[in-house]
Structure 1
Amino acid sequence: MEWKLDRTSKEPLFRQIARSFEKRIQSGELPPGAPLPPERKLAEELGVNRSTITAAYEELRASGLTQSVQGSGTCVSDHLWGVSPRRLPNWHQYTNGGSFLPTLPLSKRIREASADPRVINLARGQLSSDLFPEEALSDLLKSTPLTASLSYPDPKGDEIFRHTLSAHLQKHYGIEAAPEEILVVSGAQQALHLLTQCILSPGDAVAIEGPSYAYSLPLFISAGLRLFRIPLDEQGLLPDEVMSLYQKHKIRMVFANPTYQNPTGTTLSLARRKRLLQICEELRIPIVEDDAYGSLTLHGSQAPPPALMKLNQGGGSVIYLGSLSKTAAPGLRIGWVAGPRSVIERLADAKQQMDFGTSIVVQRLVESYLSSGQWERHLQRIRKELTIRRDVMLQALDQYVGDQVKWNMPEGSYHIWCRLRNAIPDREVLETGIQNRVLFLPGEIYGAERGYIRLTYAGVSESEIEEGITRFERTLQTVKNSAQI
């Protein structure tokens, strides 16, 4: 180690050592699974007693950043479920430094590799450009009058747009939310950021599905929150585990993606939705419902159960998040939060401080898009196209990797969740895939165990899907052959 101990500091030596490793783990220099030096060797290198190193390693294990592997010593934890926030920076510390937590190393590597035009990207979670409603939006831009003031907008959102959103939620989701109970945001991720900063505090424990898209977002750790896993099966999350997590960790909020969950594609059954609401009402724990994919039921599939917010109508236990990122175009950067008026007022106050409100031009454009019926027509088109692409990917998987991979049968959204029959370290399979010019998302990004892969069919053509799966097969074969050498 090039780093040196400060023997003049009042901070104990073992804590200095633990803090040094903590920084290297957070930065990605020491990725999940990376070994730490043997205690005896590190003690000699730093010129300290072995007991000092032992104490430092115990500190890291207690925080959840490292784990002991029998016969292999100490290594970085494979995940950060339940990590104590006292060992991780919180958002207030980062404002002093002017930055968020850095992008996770695996995500950063994928983003870098996606810049290569020769790569077939089965990782990108968005529609391909040919499915964007470009023509409809272009026509609406020409005909949408900007009669509203072009000064700073209402931080809650344009009133006309919020009335349209209120009608949209009622018509398509059965959700009754008055305009005063809706906040317009720049996508669902801004909504999550506002919630973590305004409703929760550093040190709070929250429950999310495991695996979950939310696990991949550094904003939760930036806010100093502890993430605890709610297990999933083919019917979605297990509601009674919420009671168990509350008893053990006093969780303060549940984040759920109950319909076509990302990344697994599972849909929470009606019985479990009712049970989850019952438990959270008893414990007085709010639920944040992310419904990004709820409208994307594929052809031939049954409609999903009602949204949690509809089932809880008038109960005040659910905060509902929606957007047009998955059903129209992510570049619009338009989303919404529906919930109790007191929560909306609090979030709107913070949004005023953050960005003075969402662009009135975009709000009026999207208002015209929704009220004109263009969104419904576009939705039918992309549901048809996504069904075709899903079927092409399923056929290719069966043809090329059926003996090496198990997968789900998605009834909606963009993704197929795969499990490798022989678990391979995520970084190894990812790097080999990049060498073969195909991208996918390892399950580690979502807090899953080793051996899971998310494949996305929304952002590529039918021919690219088939070629991408052949490259995926080549990747698995390469890794298998290298393991046998």
Structure 2
Amino acid sequence: MNWQPNRQGEMTLQQQIVTWVIEHIERGDWVGGIKLPTQRQLAMQFGVNRSTVQQALEELKAAGILESKIGSGIYVAQNSWHSLITQSQPNWQSFIDTSLHKPNYHTIQLINEYEQRDDVIRLGTGELAPSLLPTAEIEASLKELSLQPKALGYSSPQGSDELREAICEYVTKRGIRAKPRNVCIVSGALQALQLIAVGLLEPGSIVFQEQTSYLNSVHPFQSVGMQMMAINRDEQLAQTLAQRKRKRQAVFYAVPTLNNPTGGVWTTHEKKQLYEACQQSRIPIIEDDVYHELLFEAATPPIKSMDDNGQVLYIGSVSKTLSPGLRIGWLIGPTTVIERLADIKMQTDYGSSAISQEIVLHWLQSGKYEKHIIDLRQKLQQRAEYVETILQEKFYDIAEWNKPKGGFYIWLKFHEPIVDKELFTKLLQREVLINPGYIYDPQDAQHIRLSYAYATEEELEKGLSILIEITKKKK
């Protein structure tokens, strides 16, 4: 303790004293809660005026490194390490606050966090249960693959030539005519939306969508300056689109088959109506068709099958059917658009996993995929019927719903507006996780996206019992 500041140094005496104190804390000599010598003692030791010591200590207290206790003296603050880190690091919070990409809603952040916990009953998860994934079959197919050295390298910009050829053949069953040059392999449907947002649209463009939309729960367009606009699909649709678009760029995001989150399915007439309305105003359509294979009955042709002039960008994926972990989807559109988005994709991730592409190619070509889909639909339908039985028994007097037509969800509507953050939090405290309607439509206080695809039957019964218990208390 014989240190003294250098009166000939470049730093002021006060700055040298501040640095000396910080060094003691950083080395661990002074831990949180230790009492410092008095100002008089420090002034004598340093050979400086007491006022110089006082100013140095006040600076350290203002930074949260030291703290005063009335009548007792000055101590190293318990959170001094955090304060030191804050002082030494860039102000990351200011970077975060001013960054381009919008943060998710707090509710969605909590959903993402709690979905990782095994002790939570997941009543809203948009994902297949582990028991529904063909894990053993995928593992077996890895042994059947004969990987070429090229498959262990980076993928080509648009993805594997063979996989794109196989996808073109596969979508012909949906009435879609495409060549490999019209296909870009993407890392799931969400990446397709992100590529469209940054690669095709200018800031301020309009993204038309239905009132209740998956896009409200993610921000691929909002974060790059797009304006989201809800539209009612009625007889005046063409006129409404033209009036609201005016001279701005616009696209229409549609999930005509098994809408997320409502589970709705458009008729062929409704699809044709949207296509013709958008055609009049030259508005491209983004058709998100990732759920169509999970319809319990035969699907009607997609909007893309009506497309003769490249107006529709069509998105497919195996994330909802085979494995979300493979991260393989596809985007079908005009060659100029696909080449543009493939270029951006290469700038961001150098292509989707080549090995995952080989697996999906094998499943499409071998017939394993379609066989798996048939089995999966049957299992999902059994789960849907099981949940409906519970709903009819316990929820008939407080809620209503439509019989699910496929996919993962029942769009459960309570008679009263009781679905709010308080309900979400109370269920979370009981280890039940829901997807409340307000994350898909901020004005919605009556709906829950109820998934029958993830939780076990025992978990579904227990979770729904807790849900009915808490909702009846809120009435």
Q: Provide TM-score, normalisation by structure 2.
A: 0.76
1:339 aligns with one of 308, 320, 333:
333
Deviation at 1:479, TM superposition (A): 2.0
Decide whether the 8 Å contact of 1:184 with 1:334 is kept in 2: yes
Q: Is the 8 A contact 2:419 2:436 kept in 1?
A: no
SS in 2 for 1:278: helix
Give the C-alpha shift of residue 148 in structure 1: 4.8
| Residue aligning to 2:108 | 107
Structure 2 counterpart of 1:445: 439
Deviation sequence 1:367-404 (CA, Å, 0-9, x none): 01111111111111110110011011111111111111
Deviation readout 1:265-290 (Å, 9 max, x if unpaired): 11111111111111111111110000
Superposed counterparts of 1:324-363, under 5 Å? 324-363=318-357
How far is the alpha carbon of 1:111 from its aligned partner? 2.4
Aligned residue number for residue 46 of structure 2:
none
What's 1:261 paired with?
A: 259
Per the alignment, in what secondary structure is the counterpart of residue 474 of structure 1? helix
Partner of 1:3: none
Distance 1:239 1:311, change over 3 A: farther
Correspondence for 1:202? 203
Give the conservation status (yes or no) of the 8 Å contact 2:127–2:453: yes
- The match for 1:42 is none
Which residue identity is paired with 1:266?
G
- Aligned ranges 1:445-464 → 2 under 5 Å: 445-447=439-441, 448-464=443-459
1:118 partner SS: coil
Equivalent residue, structure 2, for 1:144 = 145
Is the Cα–Cα contact under 8 Å of residues 164 and 370 in structure 1 kept in the other structure?
A: yes
Which structure 2 residues correspond to residues 188-337 of structure 1 after superposition, within 5 A? 188-231=189-232, 237-238=233-234, 240-241=236-237, 243-250=239-246, 252-298=250-296, 301=297, 303-312=298-307, 314-337=308-331
Q: Mean alpha-carbon deviation: is it higher for 98-107 or for 123-132?
A: 98-107
Aligned equivalent of 2:182: 181
Would the aligned equivalents of 1:181 and 1:340 in 2 still touch at CA under 8 Å? yes
Structure 1 counterpart of 2:423, from 429, 436, 440: 429
CA-to-partner distance for each residue in 1:446-472, whole Å, 9 max, x for gaps? Answer: 015221111000011222222221111
User: Structure 2: how far apart are the matches of 1:148 and 1:96?
Assistant: 44
- TM-score, normalising length: structure 1: 0.75
**1:26 aligns to what?**
none
Give the residue type in structure 2 aligned to 1:192: L
Computing the radius of gyration over CA atoms, which structure comes out larger, 1 or 2?
Answer: 2
Distance 1:127 1:145, change over 3 A: same
Q: Deviations over 1:398-440 (max 9, x none)?
A: 1111111111211111000011111125101111211232221
| 1:184 aligned counterpart, secondary structure | strand
Unaligned runs of 5+ in 1: 1-92, 232-236, 481-485
**Any idea what SS the aligned residue of 1:219 has?**
coil
Report how far residue 94 of structure 1 moved: 8.6
Q: Deviations over 1:117-141 (max 9, x none)?
A: 3321111101000111111111111
Does the 8 Å CA contact 1:296/1:412 hold for their aligned counterparts? yes
SS at match of 1:460: coil
How far the C-alpha of 1:305 sits from its partner, in A, is 1.8
CA contact (8 A) 1:240 1:276 kept: no
Q: 5+ unaligned residues in a row in structure 2: which ranges?
A: 1-93
- Cα RMSD between the aligned structures? 1.9
User: What residue number does 2:165 align with?
Assistant: 163
How far apart, in 2, do the equivalents of 1:272 and 1:180 lie?
A: 29
- C-alpha separation between the residues in 1 aligned to 2:235 and 2:287? 14
CA contact (8 A) 2:238 2:280 kept: no
Specify which of 362, 366, 371 is matched with residue 368 of structure 1.
362
SS at match of 1:228: strand
Q: Which residue of 2 aligns with 1:468?
A: 463
Q: Which runs of 4+ in 1 moved over 6 A?
A: 93-99
Sequence identity of aligned pairs in percent? 35
